[in-house]
């Protein structure tokens, strides 16, 4: 099989013949997108809480909580991804920003 035929076969098998679609830019399924949006809205609830309140809320939701930056000082963290973990930026004892991981 020559290289052109092989390329056509790969494109056909993996469905990469659609415009603007490459393996690294394939859109996640709608269900995952909706779940991600729900997480983002859910995590906004932490903003404005004290650290103790945020930890309590995280525990109630079955999540882990960690402060990544406290008053501008980056904390020493493990470099691992945990989707059930809320990372928080703390300023003067209150959560100002959150992210997952």
The number of distinct structural domains making up the chain is: 1
Report the alpha-carbon distance of residue 91 to residue 73 in Å, rounded: 10
Sign, CA torsion 43/65/79/71: positive
Does residue 63 belong to any structural domain of this protein? yes
pTM of the model: 0.59
Report the alpha-carbon distance of residue 33 to residue 3 in Å, rounded: 37
Q: pLDDT band for position 101 (50/70/90)?
A: confident
Range of the domain at 33: 28-100
* 36, containing H or E segment: helix 30-43
Does residue 14 belong to any structural domain of this protein? no
**Tally of CB atoms within 10 A around 18:** 9
Does residue 15 belong to any structural domain of this protein? no
* CATH code of the domain containing 82: 3.30.10
Does residue 69 belong to any structural domain of this protein? yes
Does residue 39 belong to any structural domain of this protein? yes
Q: What is the pLDDT of residue 55?
A: 95
**pLDDT tens digits, residue range 77-95?**
988 888 899 999 999 999 9
Question: What one-character DSSP code corresponds to residue 23?
Answer: G
**pLDDT tens digits, residue range 19-64?**
555 455 555 555 555 555 555 566 889 999 999 999 999 999 999 9
Does residue 91 belong to any structural domain of this protein? yes
């Amino acid at each position: 099989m020559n290289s052109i035929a092989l390329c056509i076969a790969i494109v056909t098998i993996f469905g990469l013949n659609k415009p603007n679609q490459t393996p690294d830019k394939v859109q996640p399924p709608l269900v995952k997108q909706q779940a991600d949006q729900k997480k983002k809205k859910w995590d906004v609830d932490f903003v404005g809480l004290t650290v103790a309140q945020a930890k309590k809320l995280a525990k109630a939701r079955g999540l882990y909580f960690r402060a990544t930056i406290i008053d501008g000082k980056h904390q020493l963290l493990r470099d691992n991804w945990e989707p059930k973990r809320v990372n928080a930026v703390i300023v003067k004892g209150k959560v100002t920003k959150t992210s997952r991981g």
